[in-house]
Amino acid sequence: MSKSLARVRRAIAESGLRAEVLTPGPSRTAEAAAAACGCDINQIVKSLIFQGESGQVYLFLTAGGNQLDPARAAGVAGEPLNRADAATVRTVTGFAIGGVAPIGHLSAPRIFADDTLLGFATVYAAAGTPEHVFSVEPGALFAACGARIAEFVA
């Protein structure tokens, strides 16, 4: 088992989340994950990492079919943002792009969530690798990772 997947499994257990880790197949993108999981694209939790001018890293959790609005995201963060590069994503979260989980980070980023995800009983989030996801109730996920609901989608 990969270190990243093991860290997500540990975070699930330690947080008391009722979640199931699945191996549906390649799920690097929201579209691929939805096809692999057999669910609506908006049930996929996209993990988008941005970095502010201050150096602070932010994780935006959004429904798979939604697009992040950079200006709104910057407003939520309170500073101008840029997409974090792959090295920053790996250093801060411990995950490679395409497998960034909302929990189990090496260093906890500030996390904001799209309330579209709350419209579903179950959502699917990356579990640390591009081939693994976990199913979970969205409100419980937001509580476990300390996500704050915010308006940042287009």
pLDDT at 108: 87
Distance CA 6, CA 127 (A): 9
β-bridge partners, 149? 113
Neighbours of 42 (CB within 10 A): 20
Residues 6+ apart with CB under 8 A from 48: 59, 60, 61, 62, 68, 83
Which domains, from first to last, does the chain contain?
Answer: 3-149 (3.90.960.10)
Q: Is the pLDDT reported for residue 1 higher than 80?
A: no
Q: What is the pTM of this model?
A: 0.95
Q: What is the pLDDT of residues 122-132, one digit of tens each?
A: 999 999 998 99
Q: What span, in angstroms and rounded, lies between the C-alpha atoms of 27 and 36?
A: 7
Output the six-digit token pair for 121. Answer: 């009983």
Q: What integer is the mean pLDDT of 86-94?
A: 95
Residue 51 contacts residue 60 (beta carbons within 8 Å): no
